[in-house]
Amino acid sequence: MLKLGYRLNLVTYSTLIKGFCTQGKVGQAGKLFDEMVLMGFRPDLYLYTIMVNGYCKMGNSDGAVRMLREMKERGFRLDLVAYTSVIDCLFKNKYVSEALDIVDEMKGKGIQLDVVTYSSLIRAMCSLGNWSEVKRLLDEMESNNLKLNVVTFNILVGGFCKEGKISEALGVVAMMTRKGVWPNVITYSELINRYCLQGELDEARKVFDSMVNLGCERNAFCYNIMINGYCKTNKIDEALKLFHEMTQKGPAPDVATYTTLMRCMFQVGRLSDAEELFENMRACGQVPNHITYSVLLDGLCKRGQTDVALELFHAMQNNELEPYIFHYNILLDGLIEAKHFEAATRLFSHIFAIGLKPSLPTYNIMIKGLCNEGLPEKAYDLFRKMEEDDCFPNNISYNITIRGFLQRNDLSKAMKILHEMVDKGFSSDSSTVVMLVTLLAVTEEDQPTYEIRQAL
């Protein structure tokens, strides 16, 4: 607009900045904010608050803290809401000491913490497993006549559940009802998830079924936890019953529901059922996400359906969902396992052509492929190229490369890489040890026993 001769005023800047923050385009909002300051405009408290909230929602604690400090420097009186937003953002980014410093700053200014601030502190302490501090905060809330709300209680239930302390979590739920705070779908979901993780599906189902009688409406997230629990224990019929219940009575299955069931169908070899679920999913208007495609690609490749997997991969790109490197890794591994090495090589080259950075598994997969093709020297060249690309070999990389030379009876080169591996702090896996011992027995190479033991 400046290039067209229009001069923005404070109201226009504020409107644009608020619009960008609402759309989640906080980076653009920040640039416009800095431009506004350079143009001589002084942001008001309202605009600073918008920026703080915008940065916090995007998890940008550095930006949020910068705004907070600027507000102080410009003499604005910081309120509880601004402080709490930044504290919560810092905790979520694991900046615990920085968050606690701001809490001390608040207290030093005589600003009384409210239930939202305390909830943020309690969540952070629960995640750290600092239960003595949790108790101190709860006691402090009581002395300040602050009552715990359903959010605070759910944080405690979730914290105990994550540590496997189901009896303590149930104790919190009992306390909630005594204090007149009714558990909601989040409360029950935490309990159901913990029971499922412990393999106690019957207990999980009891909680799930009790929600109806207690007047708590079950949502898709709650159903998905239960379905996932059944899938992990191969109780597919039970999982499908819940799925059909969702389709008939609601809530409607979402992407996570379909993806969970498709993964389960692939794992038990029901390929056609997985494909049918995918078609039903799209027919119901659910758009597959990156996780859905990774499940489908992995399932198809492991069942030898690499041609179908490649078609799906291209369909994914046509739907303007750009594949991540782990999608490429799934395909590369599938192609190599199916002996389609040339296709894998073309796909690997394509990764570089589009400017995508290969990951450590990408290199390991291709090194394995080259070794399988009887090309250990080329595998070794790629092994060295990894380091040039700032992707350093791990234990798997070394063992695959060593086995490639052992397969070609090149004991000398294998031992050289083996010594390097040990020097880097890695060790041989069982497959490498068996191959090395077997080759030594067959070739009767004169390798000192001590040297071999050190290398292994």
Where does the pLDDT of residue 45 fall: very low under 50, low under 70, confident under 90, or very high at 90 and above? confident
288: Cβ–Cβ under 8 A, 6 or more apart, which residues?
255, 259, 278, 281, 282, 296, 316, 319, 321
Q: Cβ distance 376 to 408 under 8 Å?
A: yes
DSSP conformational letter for 289? -
pLDDT of residue 103 exceeding 80, the answer is yes
Q: With pLDDT > 70 as the criterion, what percentage of the chain qualifies? A: 95
Q: Which CATH number fits domain 367-456: 1.10.3470, 1.25.40, 1.10.10, 1.25.10?
A: 1.25.40
What is the CB neighbour count within 10 angstroms for residue 16?
17
pLDDT of residue 451 exceeding 80, the answer is no
Cis upstream peptide for 251 (omega within 30°): yes
Q: What are phi and psi of 392, to 5 degrees?
A: -90, 135
pLDDT for residue 450: 44
Q: Cβ distance 245 to 226 under 8 Å?
A: no
Average pLDDT over residues 40-67: 90
Average pLDDT over residues 281-302: 96
Using alpha carbons only, how large is the chain's radius of gyration in Å? Answer: 29
pLDDT of residue 448 exceeding 80, the answer is no
Choose between 403 and 45: higher pLDDT: 403
pLDDT for residue 81: 86
pLDDT for residue 4: 46
CATH 1.25.40.10: which residues of the chain?
112-215
**Residue labelled with tokens 């290039």:** 3
DSSP conformational letter for 2? T
- Within its chain, how far is the Cα of 101 from the centroid? 28
C-alpha dist (Å) from residue 109 to 89, 104, 112, 114, 131: 21, 9, 9, 15, 27
DSSP conformational letter for 200? -
Largest alpha-carbon pair distance within the chain?
Answer: 86
pLDDT in tens, 8-18: 788 888 889 99
pTM of the full structure? 0.84
First to last CA, the chain: 68
CATH class of 112-215: mainly alpha
Nearest to 339 by CA among 298, 315, 368, 312: 368
What is the CB neighbour count within 10 angstroms for residue 412?
10
Q: Which helix (H) or strand (E) holds 100?
A: helix 96-108
C-alpha dist (Å) from residue 132 to 123, 137, 397: 13, 9, 44
pLDDT for residue 115: 95
CA distance 292 to 246: 19
